[in-house]
């Protein structure tokens, strides 16, 4: 999602639909998400950002925990089928 959002934004910047997935800002070494779904699932940049944007930090942590739980559950499901 993160990678696809960046590619789509570079090709089709003006669309609202593209902005929903992520708006990106070019910085020295690359691009960072500044809004959209890509922003919410990206990690906070540093500890101060973690403190000053608690909703972003909470959404990111929930996304990571749910993703890890889903993939671990799927992994154990595959092990049972092949083991």
User: Using one digit for the tens of pLDDT, what is the confidence trace for 39-62?
Assistant: 999 999 899 999 999 999 999 999
What is the average per-residue pLDDT within 62-74? 95
More confident residue, 7 or 83: 7
Q: How many domains does the chain have?
A: 1
What distance in Å separates the CA atoms of residue 21 and residue 26, rounded to the nearest whole number? 17
Answer yes or no: pTM beyond 0.95: no
H/E element holding 10? helix 2-11
Q: What is the pLDDT of residues 7-22, one digit of tens each?
A: 888 888 878 888 898 9
Q: Residue 31 CB: number of other CB atoms within 10 A?
A: 14
Q: Residue 42 CB: number of other CB atoms within 10 A?
A: 19
* Residue 18 domain boundaries: 2-82
Of 51, 54, 56, which is closest to residue 37 (Cα–Cα)? 56
């Amino acid at each position: 999602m993160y990678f696809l959002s960046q590619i789509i934004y570079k090709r089709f910047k003006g669309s609202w639909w593209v902005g929903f997935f992520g708006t990106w800002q070019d910085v020295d070494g690359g691009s960072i998400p500044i809004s959209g779904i890509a922003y919410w699932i990206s990690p906070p940049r540093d500890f101060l950002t973690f403190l000053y944007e608690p909703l972003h930090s909470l959404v990111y942590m929930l996304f990571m925990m749910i993703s890890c739980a889903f993939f671990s559950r799927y992994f154990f499901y595959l092990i049972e089928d092949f083991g």
